[in-house]
Amino acid sequence: MHAVILVAGTATRLRPLTDSTPKCLLRVKGRAILGMMIENLRLSGIEHFVLVTGYLEDQIHRFIEENYPAVKVTFISNEMFASTNNIYSLWLAKDIVKSKDFLLLDGDIVFDRGIIDLLLNGRHHAALALRTIGHVGQEDIKVMTDKSGFVEEINKTMNPAEAAGESIGIELFFEDSSVKLFDELQIMIESEKKVNVWYEEAFQRIIDLGTKIAAVDVGDLKCMELDTVEDFKNAENL
């Protein structure tokens, strides 16, 4: 099982905090976000990591070398990080994880590691972690589910009142769903040149083609995506 962590972005909403530090190396309670993610994943048995870097990537390389020298990490550089979105960073991982089981994580999440175990133990071919407790905002990636708990719609534009909850940015794909995802990404990136959209657009397209993605409710397990200075203040308290 691989874990693909996307850490290429510039995080402009967090400036000046990210003027000289990549977002994933900002600290909560004195600990770097990326470090907490790696430790949680390792505790759940994940041994192979793929980090898609871009903005200030030398700092991320150095952080891994100094703190996790024995961990198996493959670095992939998104040289177009300033003009692309996370769909392109995910696409760059194709040669390593297409047709393999992998977890996909945005590189700006703090979370209870029990969420990883929920996904791994769910026996679904594809799944995402869904936060149903608390406020769901306009900027969140929102999810609508069917009666069986599978994702029907996933996007930012959905009316929050119609959403089952927020996708927190942790997904699981096993071999067959991985192939379908990267086949669709190939069409989107190479044929349609859609390099500046969210990867959830690819999720929606494979769902529309018949792929089942389970929405796994994380319940009261703590998780937060860190996009603003206010988010960091809330995470310190959480």
Question: Splitting the chain (238 residues) into consecutive groups of 10 residues, what average pLDDT does each group show?
Answer: 96 86 94 96 96 98 97 97 96 96 96 95 93 88 96 95 95 96 98 97 98 97 87 81
Say what the pLDDT of residue 179 is: 97
Say what the pLDDT of residue 15 is: 86
3-state DSSP of 56-100: CHHHHHHHHHHHCCCCEEEEEECCCCCCCCHHHHHHCCHHHHCCC
Say what the pLDDT of residue 17 is: 81
Question: 2-237 falls under which CATH superfamily?
Answer: Spore Coat Polysaccharide Biosynthesis Protein SpsA; Chain A (3.90.550.10)
Least Cα distance to 50 among 33, 74, 68 occurs for 74
Q: Which residues pair with 156 in a beta bridge?
A: none
> E-strand spans in the chain?
2-7, 27-28, 31-32, 48-53, 72-77, 102-106, 109-111, 126-131, 142-145, 151-155, 165-173, 214-217, 223-225
124, 212 Cβ separation under 8 angstroms:
yes
Q: Which residues pair with 49 in a beta bridge?
A: 3, 73
Say what the pLDDT of residue 39 is: 96
Say what the pLDDT of residue 227 is: 84
Say what the pLDDT of residue 18 is: 87
Q: Where are the domains of the chain?
A: 2-237
Q: Measured between alpha carbons, how far is 42 from 34 in angstroms, rounded to an integer? A: 12
- Residue 46 CA, chain-centre distance (Å), reads 15
Half-sphere exposure of 219 toward its Cβ, with a 13 Å CA cutoff?
Answer: 9
